[in-house]
Amino acid sequence: MDEPVSRVERKRGRRVEQILAVAAELFGERGYDAVNLEDVAERLDVTKGSLYYYFAGKDQLATAAIETLGDDWTGRLEAMAGAVEGDAATRLRALIRAHVVIAVREYPAALRLFLVPRTWPDALRTRITEMRRRHDQVFRAVLVDGLERGEFAVVATSTTLQAMHAAMSQAPLWCAGLADDEQERAFDELADTLMKLVALNPGP
């Protein structure tokens, strides 16, 4: 599966990653429309034209950047999911908190990115959808585990996950102006709140 890559190709790959890191940051901060290639180029200390040496256009760059952002995000959550010990509740709560922290601190405009412009070619939209599925899977695994163990109860698995994801993604909107310690409290509150979605005995 992994073909041997020359030194040159690896170098190009690293450059692409640098660009994508910067682009993911910018797109994640501001959303697609509010970013122009000048901005991306400037942060990389190159000129606009250079970006076209690596990407066919703004759409392609954005798509790749979103994927990078998503891979990074999902990867960190997966790593955490693997590392955390304990019952499903402990693990799910950790995931939620981690997700919100990343959203608020690093990709405050990520929500915008999921609202992919309808004008994009299907190929690009498909890639975004794919990426979201992987991301969802991390939470789903823990949730299903908790259900099987009898730790959790839900009305419907997918709906619960959607609701969780929506709330986590919008967190940046209302945590934007808070001081650091207030944010920490907000994160805890949100995590505890969302844990109720999977609670047993949800009422008298």
Partner DNA sequence: GATGAATGAGAATTCATTCAT
Partner DNA sequence: GATGAATGAATTCTCATTCAT
Q: Which residues contact its own copies by CB under 8 A?
A: 30-31, 33-34, 109, 111-112, 114-115, 117-119, 154-156, 158-160, 162-163, 165-167, 169-171, 173-174, 186, 189-190, 192-197, 199-204
Kindly report the backbone phi and psi dihedral angles of residue 11, in degrees, each rounded to the nearest multiple of 5, phi listed first. Answer: -65, -45
Contact (CB, 8 A) for 54 and 112:
no
Please state the closest distance from residue 146 (CB atom) to its own copies, in A.
Answer: 11
16 vs 163 by CB, closer to DNA: 16
Q: Where does this chain touch DNA (CB under 7 A) — which range of 6-14, 124-132, 144-152, 175-183? A: 6-14
- The b-or-e profile of 93-123 (16+ CB within 10 A means b, else e) is bbbbbbbbbbbbebbbbbbbbeebeeebeee
* Binder of residue 100, out of DNA, its own copies, none (CB less than 5 to 8 A by kind): none
Please state the closest distance from residue 1 (CB atom) to its own copies, in A.
Answer: 27
42 interacts with DNA by CB under 7 A: no
46 interacts with DNA by CB under 7 A: yes
Listed residue (67, 53, 51, 52) closest to 113, CA to CA = 67
Contacts of 65 (CB under 8 A, 6+ apart): 20, 23, 24, 26, 27
- Count of residues binding DNA (CB under 7 A)? 21
